[in-house]
Structure 1
Amino acid sequence: MQKQPELLSKGDKVGIIAPSRVITEEQMAKAFEVFDEWELEVIKGESLFAKEGYFAGTDSQRRADLQRMIDDPEIKAIFCARGGYGMTRIIDQIDLTNFIKRPKWVIGFSDITALHLALNRKGIESVHGLMPVQYDYMGVEESLASLRQLLFEGTVRYEVASDANNRHGECTAEVVGGNLSLVAESLGTSTEIDAAGKILILEEIDEYLYKIDRMFMQLRRSGKLESLAGVIIGDFSQMKDTQIPFGKSVFDLIAAHFEGLEIPIAYNFPVGHEARNLAIPIGRKMKLEVLKDVVRLSDAV
């Protein structure tokens, strides 16, 4: 049974850090307005607006910021400002001892998948959801509302239109996963994904089709796709092809890797690098229903 952090309440202190790519104050302006509307007290990371080339500060600065937020007993949630790249450079130096004793919500996706995987290995729920840099993007209202609902109310029940590529069925299992690149990168490390008997969520952005195929082959060869309870394929945005075409669409490519598996599979579920990015509790036992006309993802009863 995964540990669930306490729900947020008005007046709670929350931390904002940038553990990956550099971010500016202008890019965070809308997020501060949202947190003010939610009546949360925001504690900024010491290196939130630091810059070290591509990164939001040096590895040691970003690691120290995350560690401070983990260890501060007054902080009820940690919002990762944006993704990009950088979390895997610091994840092995993070001490989760205090986090395990007093779990708190961690929110983010994309590169933050590396942190979700680490928390999942420790048996703690976290949130795959919209990040502060995106709060002023067009069309994110539903995504932001789903995040608030999950953090303050704790409940999840989503219904989306069924995709023609879906494989129908139902299952109830723990949800794991996130960004495909980060999931594949975890193999052979201390935070390697444990997907057996679980619902695997995957999404990706800005990759060549042959690289998508290669990462799925890596997951297959390592046995990660053999014992799944179900699969949710989110957005695979801005896919690229080479001069010699790969010859398949991204979803046809993905479907080939699940041939022979009699499990429910939902394609084009609204999770990933698009405006509609519903908040998903990673590590929570959930019910997935992939039906002819609708796909439902909800809390297990």
Structure 2
Amino acid sequence: MLKPNHLCPGDVVGVIAPAGPPDLKQLQQGVRYLKSLGLQVCLGQTVRLKKGYLSGTDEERLSDLHYMFQNPQIKAVFCARGGYGTARIAEQVNYELIRCHPKIFWGYSDITYLHTAIRQYSGLITFHGPMIASEWTETDIISFRQLFTPVEIVYTSAVSSLQVIKPGRANGRIVGGNLTLLTDSLGTPFEIQTAGNILFMEEVDEPLYRIDAMLNHLRLAGKFSSVAGIALGEFTTDKQDEAQYHSELNDLFVHYFHNCAVPVVQGFSMGHGQPNFGFPLGARAVMNTCFPLLSIEPGIS
């Protein structure tokens, strides 16, 4: 796997919108945060474009992505927002260009499709973390520090309450992202490869029957059979009876994973909730339920 170079104060970073159009007020706030880290910001053309639920045409969004990777002055590429649209451009992405110009690529949610495609076709470690056009917390800001200095990420119950569904110890590269996007990849050239890896999953505002259906789809596709371990992140809901939702969600997790031959842990604050801890996808990781903990190697060089 390729590790991108670390950032230095004064570096220029690019911000693009490869999926949906961002809220411009929140985008401006995110740009201010990046500048507070000592970075210069180059906004892609797509952050101000809107074509229905997309941030410009497929060609415009693809061009923005290619420009940021090809431009030697740009040291990292941050996504402004998720929504929908990255699957539409995945087939046209120049993965050889990305492999030859490896740099930090950061985002989550719909960006999951590009994370998987870039890792599997370019061999580049990418980063799952909060969008630029979102409401940042202090923890979110701290997450960006891993891009300046190589540091191992160690996530324990001191960060959030972790529940062990299946005990054990796992070693492997951590892959995954949003459950819907992982399921959407099945049967395509960008199908998520889980064999020997630690699979991370998160989701937002999906009814329980949809989560059930997607987990069953992944199971039937064999994505749990050869996995090294499973880490479950935030599964957030806007329902009023949140306690009942999560109780029934836990029953779903137990149903699908209690007979697993590998460790399964839930409760990681990674995904659509706040805080949203950033971490490198494709990096080597260890999950141990004795503590429990998830340790991930630095994603930069």
Number of corresponding residues: 291
- Whole-angstrom distance in 2 between the partners of 1:55 and 1:195: 30
| Residue 154 (str. 1) matches residue 150 (str. 2) | yes
Counterpart of 1:47 in structure 2 is 46
| Residue 282 (str. 1) matches residue 297 (str. 2) | no
Matches for 1:231-242 after TM superposition, within 5 Å: 231-238=230-237
- Whole-angstrom distance in 1 between the partners of 2:175 and 2:13: 24
| Residue 296 (str. 1) matches residue 294 (str. 2) | yes
Contact 1:207-1:239 within 8 A present in 2 as well = no
Contact 1:179-1:202 within 8 A present in 2 as well = yes
Q: Cα offset for 1:163?
A: 3.0
Counterpart of 1:132 in structure 2 is 132
2:68 aligned partner, one-letter code: M
TM-score, normalised relative to structure 1: 0.91
What's the RMSD between the two structures over aligned residues? 2.1
TM-score, normalised relative to structure 2: 0.91
Contact 2:175-2:194 within 8 A present in 1 as well = yes
Q: Deviations over 1:86-110 (max 9, x none)?
A: 1111111111222101211110000
Contact 2:7-2:147 within 8 A present in 1 as well = yes
Gaps of 5+ in 2: none
| Structure 2 residue corresponding to 1:141, chosen from 114, 138, 143 | 138
Contact 1:208-1:239 within 8 A present in 2 as well = no
Q: Deviations over 1:100-134 (max 9, x none)?
A: 01211110000000010011102110000111112
Q: Deviations over 1:147-203 (max 9, x none)?
A: x22211121322332534432222221000000000010111111111001100000
Counterpart of 1:61 in structure 2 is 60
Counterpart of 1:200 in structure 2 is 199
Structure 1 residues 60 and 36: CA distance shift in structure 2, 3 A: same
Matches for 1:1-301 after TM superposition, within 5 Å: 2-122=1-121, 123-134=123-134, 136-137=135-136, 140-146=137-143, 148-161=144-157, 162-238=161-237, 249-292=248-291, 294-299=292-297
Query: In structure 2, the residue corresponding to 1:47 is in which secondary structure?
Result: helix
**Identity level (%):** 35
2:281 aligned partner, one-letter code: I
Q: Deviations over 1:13-53 (max 9, x none)?
A: 11100111112321212111111111112111022111111
Contact 1:16-1:78 within 8 A present in 2 as well = yes
Query: In structure 1, the residue corresponding to 2:253 is in which secondary structure?
Result: helix
Structure 1 residues 247 and 67: CA distance shift in structure 2, 3 A: closer
